[in-house]
Structure 1
């Protein structure tokens, strides 16, 4: 059964972030508003003083081979609730199992503060992912990434439309998004927080099934579509925030935090990493290795938290995607059409090889 339904990544290697930067921060901010005072203290302690909104996209920005599948869940359409629960229960390494694992980690009294910090940052993000309908959807179209549509006279795809395009259309500032979306009644809060993570993703599955039934490749997304579904997006973001707060209150409301200072391990000796030179055409076979590879930049895209550049061919036929973040992000507007040499670990992201670069010295052109 596990082989038949392979719960792997969806989407293309341009790495669209679920709910976009605005959506994830809104979810975290809504959750923060609904924490008990003790939970808020514990969360702040584990996050080392950072706000929940500030770490809301950390899990996307620090994905790797192990954690990349945690953001998604692929299922065939047409499942009954019982069939859905059976398949999800039998699966592993997806958004549902990742939420359960991170919550178990946060209950584990033997974990270090750094381990709790990482688990909490994942949970904050993954609860949001579970409520994005296109993150619980079909494998064959990579969660709607291959379904091209037009919105606001521009080309996009179904996944991106639901990640950020509909939210962006509202034109609201971050604070106004939270003010507008955080509209749950006390009765709704009680009901939403009593639902299990299985029900969260079942709701997303039902919505994505409806979206698939109503869209055709090349379709123009009109005002009627926007007016129909922006309330759905508002509700899903609000539900994610309210439910995240509920989970954190269950975990931390009665917890007494004891943060101990751990002396960091000394840095490894310099020049101990083995770097293998590979041809761009062979990059897919180098997954998991730290390599040096050269290729021409054919296209790029700034998604806010990082710049994604495609080597070897333009998207979607690229041989390698390089994600520039941190200080390296500033190179994004300097390397279009240039031939560059990149050094870093090759990961498999949504079926395509990718290298994440934070140090500008790892790129030469």
Structure 2
């Protein structure tokens, strides 16, 4: 049976890159803020100490003829939801199937740390791709790449407009983008994380269908179009980050932290000694730091110990797990030295300790 959809490789003359540099880093940074503590530690281990934002564009930078189709999905316009689901379910070698493949690889206990590293870098990127509307669009115009338009007095195309041009026009720094876009309510987070990857790309398909109807080749994109489009872009990037965190929490929240040599550890055997107030700048590094314990809380699975100030103003949280959990009732109001890898947990630095020898007081 002839399929309704056709997949194509994008030639070297037309680059299909979702969200651009800022957008992909924003998706990854938002996701990082919504990881559970254990998931953040597993992610850091598999990424060998690199941050999610730093690897978020790796898949674009390392694409080849095999992986190029993983970044998009081509379908004709006008499909019902039922037709869409049927077509996508029958398809392969596209952003939807690639997401399922990378998630399966991350669950596969037989794969090496390097294979998990690559799968995770792909997943971080591809969830962003799935939420860029022009990555679920038509073959005949190469996802909007051949629809030439003008914006900010410069020539561009519909795909590039949604990749980066509208975001660049907004003028926000990467930090401000994350702070501004990450505005989901608890109810939205719950709903978004319950949606399947099929629904993510269905949403993109619906949006791209509207975009095709709104823009014609040769059109001059005005400020009104920008103002109308930015809420959609903000929501899609926020959804991508929230959903990426949801997928990673499902994959990693209950698994043991793997033993993977980090890039930093491979180049030096020395532990970095840092001041407590500077720990926030050492995410992904193994450090030794000292501070006073101001508060602690036993949450059954671990004891959370707050240094530098009481929660929620702590400079560092030390999560005591395993054998180290027994130290929890001995540390209140004491000055301790802790050694371990720093992770980012919801915008705060954290060190997970399972070996009691890593705590001195």
> What TM-score comes out, normalization by structure 2 length?
0.71
Any conservation in 2 of the 1:29–1:52 contact (CA below 8 Å)? yes
Q: Which runs of 4+ in 1 moved over 6 A?
A: none
The gaps in structure 1 that reach 5 residues or longer are 262-365
Distance 1:12 1:142, change over 3 A: farther
- Give 3-state SS (helix, strand or coil) of 1:220's partner: coil
What does residue range 107-146 of structure 1 map to in structure 2 within 5 Å? 107-146=107-146
Q: For 2:69 and 2:45, locate their aligned partners in 1 and report how far apart those are by CA, in whole Å.
A: 28
Confirm or deny that 1:212 pairs with 2:212.
Answer: yes
Q: For 2:123 and 2:238, locate their aligned partners in 1 and report how far apart those are by CA, in whole Å.
A: 16
What does residue range 1-365 of structure 1 map to in structure 2 within 5 Å? 1=1, 4-9=4-9, 13-259=13-259
Q: For 2:104 and 2:2, locate their aligned partners in 1 and report how far apart those are by CA, in whole Å.
A: 23
Any conservation in 1 of the 2:4–2:87 contact (CA below 8 Å)? no
Distance 1:177 1:6, change over 3 A: same
Deviation string, structure 1 residues 79-107 (Cα, Å, up to 9, x no partner): 00000000000000000000000000000
Q: 1:247: Cα distance to partner?
A: 0.1
Deviation string, structure 1 residues 212-257 (Cα, Å, up to 9, x no partner): 0111110010111000010000000000000000000000000103
Q: 1:66: Cα distance to partner?
A: 1.0
- Give 3-state SS (helix, strand or coil) of 2:18's partner: coil
Q: For 1:217 and 1:64, locate their aligned partners in 2 and report how far apart those are by CA, in whole Å.
A: 30
Q: For 1:137 and 1:201, locate their aligned partners in 2 and report how far apart those are by CA, in whole Å.
A: 10
- Give 3-state SS (helix, strand or coil) of 2:50's partner: coil
Any conservation in 2 of the 1:11–1:144 contact (CA below 8 Å)? no
Q: 1:260: Cα distance to partner?
A: 5.8
Q: For 2:18 and 2:24, locate their aligned partners in 1 and report how far apart those are by CA, in whole Å.
A: 8
Q: 1:8: Cα distance to partner?
A: 2.5
Larger of the two Rg values belongs to structure: 2
Distance 1:234 1:247, change over 3 A: same
Q: 1:11: Cα distance to partner?
A: 7.4
Deviation string, structure 1 residues 63-90 (Cα, Å, up to 9, x no partner): 0111110000000000000000000000
- Give 3-state SS (helix, strand or coil) of 1:149's partner: strand
Any conservation in 1 of the 2:10–2:68 contact (CA below 8 Å)? no
Deviation string, structure 1 residues 99-146 (Cα, Å, up to 9, x no partner): 000000000000000000000000000000000000000000000000
Any conservation in 1 of the 2:3–2:87 contact (CA below 8 Å)? no
Distance 1:173 1:113, change over 3 A: same
Q: For 1:145 and 1:136, locate their aligned partners in 2 and report how far apart those are by CA, in whole Å.
A: 13
Q: For 1:88 and 1:16, locate their aligned partners in 2 and report how far apart those are by CA, in whole Å.
A: 20
Any conservation in 1 of the 2:10–2:142 contact (CA below 8 Å)? yes
Any conservation in 1 of the 2:4–2:75 contact (CA below 8 Å)? no
Match of 2:296 in 1: none
Q: 1:258: Cα distance to partner?
A: 3.0
Any conservation in 1 of the 2:45–2:260 contact (CA below 8 Å)? no
The gaps in structure 2 that reach 5 residues or longer are 262-361
Q: For 2:233 and 2:260, locate their aligned partners in 1 and report how far apart those are by CA, in whole Å.
A: 41
Distance 1:44 1:260, change over 3 A: closer
CA RMSD of aligned residues (A): 1.5
Match of 1:358 in 2: none
Q: Which moved more, 1:206-215 or 1:7-16?
A: 7-16
